[in-house]
Structures are given as C-alpha cells and as structure tokens.
C-alpha cells in the first residue's frame, strides 16, 4: 500500500453541486452543521443495528456519541462520531460522487430548487457537501467498524480531493473544518449549541459540544400524547422529515393488540413531486424498541403513502432483522396493513371535521390517493371516501365526496355518473351532460385524465355502480311523468320519422365505415347533433387518450379502440334533419356533412381526428357559401 496521498478529481456532477452549495446556498449556512450531525447520527444508527446482527469486535466498547469541538483561535470545527466509519472505497464512493441514479438530472433539479427556495435542498441530500459553505478546507478521518486501516480525505472543494492512509484512528469518523474568514462564528461554542438545540434535539445519541451534552436523547413517539406540545411535534417533524415547513396533519397513536405499535405520522405542507423534483423516497422510519431498523422504509407503508413523514416503532419485530428480509416479512406486512388503515381512517375523520382543510390536502396530495386506488386493490374501500371531484352540483373549484353525491341522489337513481373533460366549461358545453342537465341528475366532472382509471378501478361506491357518461349502454334512471312532460314542452322540435332515422343511421355507418361500430338514434342528446360513445364498458375516451399518448392505441394501431366506438345522432336536431334532406339532393355534399359531424363529435370527446382531411373538407363545405 502506498503511503502517498492520492489525488482524485470530483465527478463532474459533484463539482456542479459544490458550485451550487458554495455560491447559492450560503445564506442558510447553519444547515451544514445540521447535515453533518445528521450524517454522524446515521452512521451511529447503522452501527447500532449492525452490532445486533454482526457482533463486531473492533472497538466494540466505544460509546455511541457525537462530539463537536471548536477552536476559536485556529478557527476550526471538528465533528466526531463513533459510528460505522468508512473504508477507503466507501470514502471515494460517498464523498467523491453523487450516488443518485440519473445524477445529471438531479443536479439540474437542485439548481432549480436553489433558485426557488433554499430550504428545498434538504430534500436533495446534498448533505456532506454543504460543509463547503463554511469551510476553506475539509478533512475527513475515518475508520470502518470492520477494523480495516483508517484513511484521510482532504479537499478545498475546488475540483479535486486526496485520500491517504491515516493511522491511530478509532472506529468512526472525524470531520475537521477549517472555517472561512467570514464563517468564524461556527468556531464558537454558543453558536454550535444554538444550532444543535434548533435542529438536532431529537438525535437519538448524545450530542456534546465541548464535552457537554446539549440534546435530550429521547424517543418522542414513545411518550404520552398529553405530555407533548405542538412545538415539540413540529420540531420533531422537521427533524425526521428533514423539512422546513410545518406539518398539516399528524397522527400519533399507540396500540398493544394485535401488534405493539407506536406510530407518529405527519403530512407535510408541500408535495415535492409536484415541485418537479422527481420521485420521493418514503419518509417513514421503522424502529424496534427505539433502535432504527430501516430508514426511509419501503416496507412499512405502501408506496403511494411515500409523502408521509414519521416513525413507526414496534416491539414485536425481531431486533436483528435485516433490511432485505423486511420486504416479505409477514409481521411487517401486518404492521403495514394496520397502520395504513389507521391513517386512512384518520384522514376520513379529519375530512369530516374540516372539509376546507381537507380540500387543501386533497389538492396537494390527492394524486397519491388516486395512485393508491389504481395500484392497490387492498385499500380501495378505505380510499374511496377520501376522493374528491367537481360536479354539476358544486361551484367551480369546490368539490364533492362520493358519499355526498350519494346523499344527494334522487329516488330511483341507482348509479353514480361521471364524465371526463379538459375543463369544467368544456364539459358543461359538451354533448354528454345535456340530458343530465335537463333531468337534473348530478354528474361528476373528472378533470384529470387519470380520474377515469381511478373510478373504473373502483367500480362502485356504497353499492352503486360508477358509470362514465360516454358509455354506449348508459341508461339514465327511468324518467318520471313530470320529466317526460318537461321534455316534450322543452324540445318542441319535431323528430325525424322512425323509418327516416333508421335509414339515415344506416347510411352514415356506410360512409364512416370502420371508424364506428354503429350509428344510432340518441335518446340522450338535447341540443347537440351527435356524440361519440364507447361500446367497451371499461374504456372511456379519456383513458383512450392516455393510451394513445403512450403509443398503446390510437389511429395507426390496428388494435385501436375505434372499432368499439359508436356514434349517437340527435333525430330532433335541425342539422341532422337538414342532412337527411340533403342526402336525397346532393349525395357528395351530404357525405361531407356527415363526416364533419363525426369529426366534431370526436373532438368533443377529446379524441384525435386527421386535421388535414378535416380542414380540406371544411373548406369544401365553406365553398357553398356563395351558393
């Protein structure tokens, strides 16, 4: 082994991160202390867990703690932990590169976030590199728990670093920071004490500044609710979630049966996935008797609850369980089920208590609830009451639950109706809601394309089928006599004779060919001449749109749904009546009109038409102006 220092270049992405950290984030300098202390705590947690599974022998007696020491004359700050430490390979891997997959994108997102809101960087785990906000140079001396030789890493943050062997180290890591001239305050005891008290109270190991312990080292989740103040909860949230905002909901509960559980869960204010930061890691840590078993656990909650931050502690888990075996551990699965159901029940109750507050949650995190419905059959029943949609009975922008819809249903209505569209206005002016409006039947407006997947996955609510209004087989509830009366009074329009209707439909089908399965007279249209409906009971137009965008369907695809489409025409509509007449006089012109009506109906369904063909036809029709 060479005793020379080896000089290495930072990975290109790392250099960019360093550049951002040093130049844009220095207004929030305190966070570097928090980041380094939290790394020290992570390393100690790892060791504590390892010592249960591996029985390490090297330096086994060294107490688990974090020490901060400063020298106000030399202007240095030293942070020492007795955690797992790092081997030379780990040093290079962890402190020379950005371990994120797709790190190029990561750096771009980080740069964006740094511009928008400095507090977002915590979410990125730039962690260690934040030391360079305050450091002229950083030296890391570390020795792994496995007892292999120690090493020293050194850098001034300008492009390169060195790694050299270092003798005489105990297990763990020492980080020595030579402070910049304008960062000398971090060489003072009271500054460090202030920062630890502010950010690191909940570190589960003693944190000592110049030998004096400054934190309390206790597991807040195991204390009784009545003893914990809102401030403490909020501080713990910030600690555990690496967050800077305030939590909007919190659920703290303990149970003994069927499993011993202590859980403290928080809903954050912001959805970081919405802020364009890629997929979040899960935010709940799994403990057993206050020992961290699995940080950011993928096992303890379903994936679609990854926005929740907090802690789950269960005494029933075997302490020496390995992280790998958590995934398919029967006990963990049981825990997950109990906690998930408990959380969903809690949110349902909160929604009842304060619907406005819940709506804010829904607007931020509803997408995760929808993800749950479409990806996780197990919790559909618990998730359904949390869904919210606009509807014909709500004001623009406000929303209804499925339960409220059901409560408003008139006698005789057995089903729940919905229709997708790009906006409330587009839906309300489109053909699908005409009969609903006229008959005063409530219809949900699903404004997001994914909503139709959600509702068709759900299938029913409270025993009532959920049906899209663009289904071909949709039958509205039997109309009452009063309705019939109103209908006759209102329309007043003479319908085409039955025989004419039949032959007109047949003729249109011939013209449209394979584009439609059938052309039928509508009983649902009031004003519009025509509409497209889906014969496939599962697929709605909005779902087809998504599949088309993904290249899974669409016009070029022989398997496309178009074979399953039907067109309904309105036999009382004046345009349809004129077309029936025109057929006998000017076949070519009538054919253009029929095709144009079809294209228009497709557009109203949000589906694609061939624009060039349509424009040419349109001009041919406009040509008639002078005639």
Q: Beginning with the edge strand found earlier in the chain, give each strand of the sheet holding 530-534 in spatial order.
A: 518-521, 565-569, 530-534
Smallest gap, in angstroms, from Cβ of residue 203 to ligand ADP? 13
Q: Judged by CB, which is closer to Mg ion: 127, or 187? A: 127
Query: Which DSSP category does 222 fall into?
Result: G
Smallest gap, in angstroms, from Cβ of residue 338 to Mg ion? 31
162 to 191, contacts with ligand ADP by CB under 6 A? 173
Asked if 284 contacts 309 with a C-beta cutoff of 8 angstroms, the reply is yes
Asked if 536 contacts 566 with a C-beta cutoff of 8 angstroms, the reply is no
What number of chain residues touch Mg ion (CB under 5 A)?
2
What number of chain residues touch ligand ADP (CB under 6 A)?
16
**Pairing of β 460-461 and β 464-468:** antiparallel
CA separation, residue 563 to residues 536, 544, 567 (Å): 10, 12, 11
The encoded tokens of residue 85 equal: 């430490």
Q: Judged by CB, which is closer to ligand ADP: 145, or 361? A: 145
Q: Which of 347, 418, 415 is nearest to 379 (CA)?
A: 347
Among 43, 347, 594, 607, binds ligand ADP (CB under 6 A): 43
When CB distances are held under 5 to 8 angstroms depending on the partner's kind, the choice from Mg ion, ligand ADP, none that residue 81 binds is: ligand ADP
The encoded tokens of residue 395 equal: 């004001």
Stretch near ligand ADP under the rule CB under 6 A, chosen from 9-17, 120-128, 177-185, 440-448: 120-128
Smallest gap, in angstroms, from Cβ of residue 39 to Mg ion? 4
CA separation, residue 377 to residues 49, 371, 515 (Å): 34, 11, 35
114 to 133, contacts with Mg ion by CB under 5 A? 127
Q: Judged by CB, which is closer to ligand ADP: 130, or 401? A: 130
Smallest gap, in angstroms, from Cβ of residue 139 to ligand ADP? 13
Smallest gap, in angstroms, from Cβ of residue 110 to ligand ADP? 12
Among 122, 127, 268, 283, binds ligand ADP (CB under 6 A): 127
Among 81, 371, 451, 470, binds ligand ADP (CB under 6 A): 81
Q: Judged by CB, which is closer to Mg ion: 124, or 436? A: 124
The encoded tokens of residue 365 equal: 């995190």
* Cα separation, 202 vs 216, whole angstroms: 7
Q: Judged by CB, which is closer to Mg ion: 292, or 543? A: 292
CA 559 to chain centre: 32
Q: Which of 141, 143, 147, 142 is nearest to 56 (CA)?
A: 147
Stretch near ligand ADP under the rule CB under 6 A, chosen from 35-43, 69-77, 162-170, 613-621: 35-43
* Cα separation, 152 vs 140, whole angstroms: 5
CB neighbourhood size of 221 (10 A): 22
Smallest gap, in angstroms, from Cβ of residue 318 to ligand ADP? 25
Stretch near ligand ADP under the rule CB under 6 A, chosen from 121-129, 195-203, 320-328, 455-463: 121-129
Asked if 50 contacts 220 with a C-beta cutoff of 8 angstroms, the reply is no
Q: Judged by CB, which is closer to Mg ion: 297, or 528? A: 297
| CB contact set of 569 (below 8 Å; sequence gap of 6+) | 504, 505, 508, 519, 520, 521, 522, 525, 529, 530, 576, 597
Residue 41 found at the interface with Mg ion (CB under 5 A): no
When CB distances are held under 5 to 8 angstroms depending on the partner's kind, the choice from ligand ADP, Mg ion, none that residue 568 binds is: none
Smallest gap, in angstroms, from Cβ of residue 242 to Mg ion? 9
* 3-class secondary-structure state, position 259: coil
* 3-class secondary-structure state, position 177: strand
* 3-class secondary-structure state, position 29: coil
When CB distances are held under 5 to 8 angstroms depending on the partner's kind, the choice from ligand ADP, Mg ion, none that residue 84 binds is: ligand ADP
Stretch near ligand ADP under the rule CB under 6 A, chosen from 83-91, 252-260, 312-320, 433-441: 83-91
Which residue's CB comes closest to ligand ADP?
A: 127
Q: Judged by CB, which is closer to Mg ion: 91, or 351? A: 91
Stretch near ligand ADP under the rule CB under 6 A, chosen from 78-86, 206-214, 484-492, 618-626: 78-86
Residue 40 found at the interface with ligand ADP (CB under 6 A): yes
Stretch near ligand ADP under the rule CB under 6 A, chosen from 36-44, 498-506, 591-599, 615-623: 36-44
Among 17, 31, 34, 35, binds ligand ADP (CB under 6 A): 35
* Cα separation, 165 vs 153, whole angstroms: 9
Q: Judged by CB, which is closer to ligand ADP: 46, or 341? A: 46
Q: Beginning with the edge strand found earlier in the chain, give each strand of the sheet holding 172-179 in spatial order.
A: 6-9, 160-165, 151-155, 135-143, 172-179, 76-81, 66-71, 207-209, 212-213
Q: Judged by CB, which is closer to Mg ion: 31, or 351? A: 31
Among 10, 17, 31, 83, binds ligand ADP (CB under 6 A): 83
Stretch near ligand ADP under the rule CB under 6 A, chosen from 77-85, 104-112, 131-139, 279-287: 77-85
Smallest gap, in angstroms, from Cβ of residue 383 to Mg ion? 34
Q: Which of 38, 74, 329 is nearest to 196 (CA)?
A: 38
Asked if 130 contacts 32 with a C-beta cutoff of 8 angstroms, the reply is yes
Asked if 214 contacts 197 with a C-beta cutoff of 8 angstroms, the reply is yes
Residue 39 found at the interface with Mg ion (CB under 5 A): yes
Residues that bind ligand ADP (CB under 6 A): 35, 39-40, 42-43, 81, 83-86, 94-95, 125, 127-128, 173
Residues forming contacts to Mg ion in the complex (CB under 5 A) are 39, 127
């Amino acid at each position: 082994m060479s005793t020379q220092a080896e000089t290495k270049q930072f990975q290109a992405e790392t250099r960019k991160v360093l550049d951002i950290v040093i130049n844009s984030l220095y207004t929030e300098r305190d966070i570097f202390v928090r980041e380094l202390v939290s790394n020290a705590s992570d390393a100690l947690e790892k060791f504590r867990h390892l010592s249960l599974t591996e029985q390490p022998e090297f330096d086994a007696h060294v107490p688990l703690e974090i020490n901060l020491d400063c020298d106000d004359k030399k202007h240095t700050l030293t942070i020492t932990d007795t955690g797992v430490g790092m081997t030379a390979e780990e040093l290079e891997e962890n402190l020379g590169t950005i371990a994120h997959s797709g790190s190029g994108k990561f750096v771009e997102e980080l740069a964006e976030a740094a511009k928008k809101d400095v507090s977002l960087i915590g979410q990125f785990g730039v962690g260690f590199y934040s030391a360079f906000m305050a450091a002229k140079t950083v030296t890391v001396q570390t020795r792994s728990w496995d007892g292999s030789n120690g090493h020293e890493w050194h850098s001034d943050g300008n492009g390169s670093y060195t790694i050299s062997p270092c003798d005489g180290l105990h297990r763990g890591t020492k980080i020595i920071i030579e402070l910049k001239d304008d960062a000398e305050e971090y060489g003072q005891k009271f500054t460090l004490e202030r920062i630890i008290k502010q950010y690191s109270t909940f570190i589960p190991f003693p944190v000592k500044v110049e030998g004096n312990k400054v934190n309390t080292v206790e597991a807040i989740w195991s204390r009784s609710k009545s003893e914990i103040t809102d401030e403490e909860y909020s501080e713990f949230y910030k600690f555990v979630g690496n967050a800077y905002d305030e939590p909007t909901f919190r659920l703290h509960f303990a149970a003994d049966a069927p499993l011993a559980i202590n859980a403290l869960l928080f809903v954050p204010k912001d959805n970081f996935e919405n802020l364009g930061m890629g997929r979040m890691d899960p935010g709940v840590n799994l403990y057993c008797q206050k020992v961290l078993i699995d940080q950011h656990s993928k096992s303890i909650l379903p994936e679609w609850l990854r926005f929740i931050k907090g802690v789950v502690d269960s005494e029933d888990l075997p302490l020496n369980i390995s992280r790998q075996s958590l995934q398919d551990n029967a006990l963990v699965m049981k825990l997950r089920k109990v906690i998930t159901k408990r959380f969903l029940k809690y949110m349902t109750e909160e929604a009842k208590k304060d619907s406005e507050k819940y709506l804010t949650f829904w607007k931020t995190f509803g997408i995760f609830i929808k993800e749950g419905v479409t990806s996780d059959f197990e919790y559909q029943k618990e998730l359904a009451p949390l869904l919210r949609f606009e509807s014909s009975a709500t004001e623009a922008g406000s929303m209804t639950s499925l339960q409220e819809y059901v409560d408003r249903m008139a006698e005789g209505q057995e089903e729940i109706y919905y229709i997708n569209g790009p906006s409330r206005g587009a839906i309300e002016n489109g053909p699908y809601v005409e009969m609903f409006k006229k008959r005063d039947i409530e219809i949900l407006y699903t404004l997001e394309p994914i909503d139709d997947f959600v509702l068709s996955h759900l299938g029913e609510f409270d025993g009532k089928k959920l049906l899209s209004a663009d289904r071909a087989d949709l039958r509205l509830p039997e109309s009452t006599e009063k309705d019939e009366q109103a209908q006759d009074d209102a329309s007043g329009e003479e319908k085409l004779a039955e025989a004419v209707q039949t032959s007109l439909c047949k003729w249109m089908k011939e013209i449209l060919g394979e584009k439609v399965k059938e052309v039928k007279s509508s009983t649902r249209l009031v004003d519009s001449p025509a509409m497209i409906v889906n014969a496939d009971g599962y697929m709605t137009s909005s779902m087809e749109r998504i599949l088309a965008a993904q290249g899974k369907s669409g016009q070029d695809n022989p398997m496309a749904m178009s074979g399953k489409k039907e067109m309904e025409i309105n036999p009382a509509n004046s345009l349809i009546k004129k077309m029936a007449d025109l057929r006998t006089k000017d076949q070519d012109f009538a054919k253009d009109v029929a095709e144009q009506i079809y294209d228009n109906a497709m557009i109203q369904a949000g589906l694609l038409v061939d624009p060039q063909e349509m424009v040419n036809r349109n001009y041919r029709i406009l040509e008639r102006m002078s005639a």
